[in-house]
Amino acid sequence: MGFYSGPTVVNDSLVFCFDAGSDKCTDADDAVASMRDIAPVAHSSRTDRSVHGDGNTGNITFPTNTGAAKALDLSVSGQNSTVDADDYDNRIDLDDDLVFADEDAYSFEFWGKLNSNAVNTYQSLGGRGATNPWIIQHKGGANSWTIKFRDNDAQYRTSSTQTTSSTEWYQMMFTVGTNRDIKFYINGELKDTVASTDTYLKIDRIGAGYSSSTSRYNYQGVILCCRIYSKTLSDAEVLQNFNATRGRVGI
């Protein structure tokens, strides 16, 4: 009988975890009408989360370049759903809000892979259906993208531009300290530290966020997992999570 001795995901202060590959998070038959978060620390109620969609709802897929790694495809066709007007609302809904006050310590981790036909625009990782706060992977081109945090003052706090393919798998993570500094990490590596003036965060949807009249932005790709912590993860802990997850997507 073999035993796994590699790195494990940080559990300390983990308050929300969605993982498409866990039967504890999705039904055993990969149905996504009912999804449960599997965080060990209660930050909100322990009832179910669900996929919300008015047209093509999300489904569990096996990405062709990642072997048997399960991921959630929200079936979003384009910015404001210009291709399919029925799917703009596809997202993971939380049945209650995850809220962090300004100057709270918290961390947000997202593993995602944009579709090859994803629009060059804001790709929502998380938000609350308003204009801010908002967490984003911003695709500028095939090999040009950033991660952003639109803070409670409606100011964009942005990582340095990445010049790698925007359609590969990435761990995208930002940590927030009590001093309001935001640290941006990609694949376990600290890219930038940016100051903010208000780090209040309210999240009630994953794979969507910004919504103002007909301006709506969802995530045009597949989601492996999302983890939210009520503490500022250290550089070593961010790298630990990267190394504990990377093998599932062939990095």
pLDDT at 47: 45
Helix (H) or strand (E) holding 242: helix 235-245
Residues 6 or more apart whose CB falls under 8 angstroms from that of 194 comprise 157, 158, 159, 181, 182, 183, 184
* Tens-digit pLDDT profile for residues 74-90: 777 776 655 555 566 67
pLDDT at 134: 95
Other CB atoms within 10 Å distance of the CB of residue 3: 4
- For the record, the structure tokens of 50 come out as 């669900």
In whole angstroms, what is the distance from residue 72 CA to residue 212 CA? Answer: 25
Closest CA to 90 of 179, 1, 221, 200: 221
Helix (H) or strand (E) holding 123: strand 122-127
* Low pLDDT (below 70) residues in the chain: 1-5, 23-69, 79-89, 95
* Tens-digit pLDDT profile for residues 109-149: 999 999 998 989 999 999 998 999 999 999 999 999 999 99
Between CA 194 and CA 77, with CA 150 as vertex, the angle to 5 degrees is 125
In whole angstroms, what is the distance from residue 19 CA to residue 72 CA? Answer: 9
Closest CA to 225 of 14, 28, 29: 14
**Coil, strand or helix: which one is 240?**
helix
Mean pLDDT of the chain: 82
Between CA 241 and CA 38, with CA 25 as vertex, the angle to 5 degrees is 55
pLDDT at 20: 80
Q: How far apart, in Å, are the Cα atoms of 24 and each of 20, 111, 165?
A: 9, 18, 32
**Coil, strand or helix: which one is 224?**
strand
Helix (H) or strand (E) holding 109: strand 106-114
In whole angstroms, what is the distance from residue 200 CA to residue 153 CA? Answer: 9
pLDDT at 43: 44
**Coil, strand or helix: which one is 175?**
strand
In whole angstroms, what is the distance from residue 111 CA to residue 136 CA? Answer: 12
Instruction: Give 56's Cβ-side CA count (13 Å radius).
Output: 16
